[in-house]
Structure 1
Amino acid sequence: MYFDETDNTAATERGSDDVFSKPIRAGKRTYFFDVKATKGNDYYITITESKRKMDFGGRATYDKHKIFLYKEDFEKFAQGLEEVIEYIRNLAPETKEEQGNDFSNVDFDEL
């Protein structure tokens, strides 16, 4: 599961427990989808974007941004996310055929 010192402290103070974590690596960014439980066995999701950067000393540092998504908002959030993803796909549709047409079909017997 995804942890850092500040998250552990905050989780302990809120009384939440980590239930499940799904990291998604995307270049210099990693997204963490974490399911957490409260003391009352209510569940919520934290979505964390972690972006690796190098400081002046050459050490890796991380910028982190976090969203808390509560159970009562799951459906609206999922609908909104799907709507904006579909909107982007309609703006610039890509198909496997288009991606595969970067190369010419060459018959070497004809050369």
Structure 2
Amino acid sequence: MSIENTKGQENYRNEIYSKSVRAGKRTYFFDVKSTRSGDHYLTITESKKKFDQDGDFHFEKHKIFLYKEDFDKFKDGFIEVIDKVISLNEANPVENNNSLESKSFKNVD
């Protein structure tokens, strides 16, 4: 799949695979894309709907790009901190478990 920009030129950042996850008021998008040379990379986007004083809304987005040479280090660091959060939560459980359910991740797909 390729995407054309407004000038009719082909966009070489082809989207190969996409996964979206809803988490409370936020949505996370995990997109696998390819470069012109055929290398694959990952973009992770956090999107949150924001309202202004007039009641109009816009989406506030934060994006990171993760390239193949960084996958292993990123994965190792990510797993390490997730494991740490889990162990800290087990050591100090939250009294009201209902609040955790409302903040859980849900697949959009």
Taking structure 2 as the reference length, the TM-score comes to: 0.72
Residue 23 (structure 1) aligns with: 20
Residue 45 (structure 2) aligns with: 48
Query: What aligned pairs does 1:81-92 form with structure 2 within 5 A after superposition?
Result: 81-92=78-89
Kindly tell me the number of residue pairs found equivalent between the two proteins.
Answer: 89
Structure ranking higher in strand proportion: 2
Instruction: Select the residue among 46, 70, 73 that pairs with 1:73.
Output: 70
Aligned partners of 1:80, 1:13: CA distance in 2, in Å?
Answer: 36
Unaligned runs of 5+ residues in structure 1 are 1-7, 100-111
Coordinate RMSD, CA, aligned:
2.6
Residue 4 (structure 1) aligns with: none
Aligned partners of 2:83, 2:43: CA distance in 1, in Å?
Answer: 23
Pairwise CA distance, 1:15:
2.7
- Structure number with the bigger relative contact order (C-alpha 8 A, sep ≥ 6) is 2
Residue 32 (structure 1) aligns with: 29
Unaligned runs of 5+ residues in structure 2 are 98-109
Identity %: 54
Aligned partners of 2:85, 2:19: CA distance in 1, in Å?
Answer: 24
In the alignment, residue 49 of structure 2 is paired with which amino acid? Answer: R
Residue 3 (structure 1) aligns with: none
Taking structure 1 as the reference length, the TM-score comes to: 0.70
- Runs (4+) off by over 4 Å: none
Residues 84 and 60 (structure 1), Cα distance of their counterparts in 2 relative to 1, 3 Å cut = same
Residue 62 (structure 1) aligns with: 59
State which structure, 1 or 2, has the greater radius of gyration over its C-alpha atoms. Answer: 1
Structure ranking higher in helix proportion: 1
